[in-house]
Amino acid sequence: MKVLSVVGARPQFVKEFALGRALGDDHEEVLLHTGQHYDAELSAVFFDELGIPEPDYQLGVGSDTHGRQTAECVVGVEEAIESESPDCVLVYGDTNSTLGAAVAASKSAPELVHVESGLRSYDREMPEEVNRVLTDHAADVLFAPSERAAETLREEGIPDERVHVVGDVQYDAILAAREHARSVSTVLDDIGLSPGEFVLATVHRPRNTDDPERLTAILDALASADSEVVVPVHPRTEDRLRGYGHWEEYAERLRLVDPVGYLDFVRLLDAAARVATDSGGVQKEAFFLDTFCLTLREETEWVETVECGWNALVGADPDRIATGLAAPTPGGSKPSLYGDGTAATRIVDVLEARLTPDEVDPNPIRDR
């Protein structure tokens, strides 16, 4: 089986780490990095730390408008498909890289496989929501992380035979990364932090960074926390803060640090008293690591984490952020929502069965 895997942003590198290991030596994986995350600390470092092979293709799309980013991915992935003739194109999540690869694959012979299907925020103003919906409806094989996600796909009319509930590959990855990070990361000593005595925060989504009122409301609320707040600053966020003339102010009130590598981030998240974030991936990682999460959005794709009490939707509301910062850590047992850490193996098993020549469903493009 020959798989063309497309990655372009931090959560996708982590998921590829788990799935690439499951593919192992039994299958051929061609890795294409779109370059959507172009900062070295947000991209190349993941390949180094997780032992992911160097990509076979580097598109280098960089920062641009959503349309241009997506269009460059369509062209680059199509060229790779023509050169490699893979059995399937595998995409992750909901980025512009995901949608671009999905468009290219849906108009070509290989099967389109979407890992992390069925998630919905029901906010069409989020580019990620549009990306995930369109990719789901174009995909031939959809791997859902939970029964709830699978039910969403059924409600949208996607046939059951295309949907497989396998759990979350990010859980596979975090289990391995947590122990490794505890043994090799020195980030707590480097920054001067003690476990359980600080708040970790990440803010990077345009809805928060590109609105100066939302951004300052979030940062003012975080700065009022009783504990020290550590913020690895995304390049977009730094650019906006400097443009708004607020960089020096918040550098004094918060612990603004450069972006950190994946293992260092896992160590910070594992050791934090809680995390405040607008990232979908970090919400899940926090849940996996037993770290209470404040989501700096009005909605989430991971509604189960809110329903079980480990995630609170606080948006940019200073009062809700303050309440969440002071709230006690949830007690009692935590439910198992996203599988048992074997999602990647299950995905490979399904693909092996589907892509055996006499079991492949008719494809009018491939079979013409």
Contact assessment for residue 230 and residue 257, using Cβ atoms and an 8 Å cutoff? yes
Q: Please tell me the predicted confidence (pLDDT) of residue 368.
A: 41
User: Is residue 43, in this structure, part of any structural domain at all?
Assistant: yes
pLDDT at 29 over 90: yes
Contact assessment for residue 57 and residue 82, using Cβ atoms and an 8 Å cutoff? no
Domain count for the chain, please give it: 2
Rounded to an integer, the average pLDDT of 93-107 is 96
User: Is residue 306, in this structure, part of any structural domain at all?
Assistant: yes
Q: Please tell me the predicted confidence (pLDDT) of residue 147.
A: 94
Q: Please tell me the predicted confidence (pLDDT) of residue 52.
A: 83
> In this predicted structure, which of 8-17, 46-55, 117-126, 223-232 has the lowest mean pLDDT?
46-55
Q: Are residues 10 and 151 in the same domain?
A: yes
| pLDDT band for position 288 (cuts 50, 70, 90) | very high
User: Is residue 103, in this structure, part of any structural domain at all?
Assistant: yes
Say which of 33, 204, 234, 246 is annotated catalytic: 204
Domain that holds residue 103: 2-168+339-359
> In this predicted structure, which of 140-149, 264-273, 334-343 has the lowest mean pLDDT?
334-343
Q: Of 364 and 313, which is predicted with more confidence?
A: 313
| pLDDT band for position 366 (cuts 50, 70, 90) | very low
Task: Write down the residue that tokens 């989020």 correspond to.
Answer: 126
CA distance 247 to 239: 9
Q: Please tell me the predicted confidence (pLDDT) of residue 19.
A: 95
pLDDT at 362 over 90: no
CA distance 14 to 221: 30
- Residues above pLDDT 90, as percent of the chain: 77
Q: Are residues 108 and 200 in the same domain?
A: no
Contact assessment for residue 287 and residue 304, using Cβ atoms and an 8 Å cutoff? no
Q: Are residues 267 and 200 in the same domain?
A: yes
Across the chain, mean pLDDT equals 92
User: Is residue 333, in this structure, part of any structural domain at all?
Assistant: no
- Cβ atoms within 10 A of the Cβ of 319, count? 9
Beta bridge partners of 28: 2
The number of angstroms, rounded, from the C-alpha of 156 to the middle of its chain's C-alpha atoms is 23
What CATH number is given to the structural domain containing 294? 3.40.50.2000
204 classed as catalytic: yes
Q: Of 280 and 247, which is predicted with more confidence?
A: 247
Contact assessment for residue 59 and residue 34, using Cβ atoms and an 8 Å cutoff? yes
Task: Give pLDDT tens digits for 37-83.
Answer: 655 555 566 677 778 888 999 998 877 788 999 999 999 999 999 99
Q: Are residues 253 and 141 in the same domain?
A: no
User: Is residue 368, in this structure, part of any structural domain at all?
Assistant: no
User: Is residue 180, in this structure, part of any structural domain at all?
Assistant: no
pLDDT at 175 over 50: yes
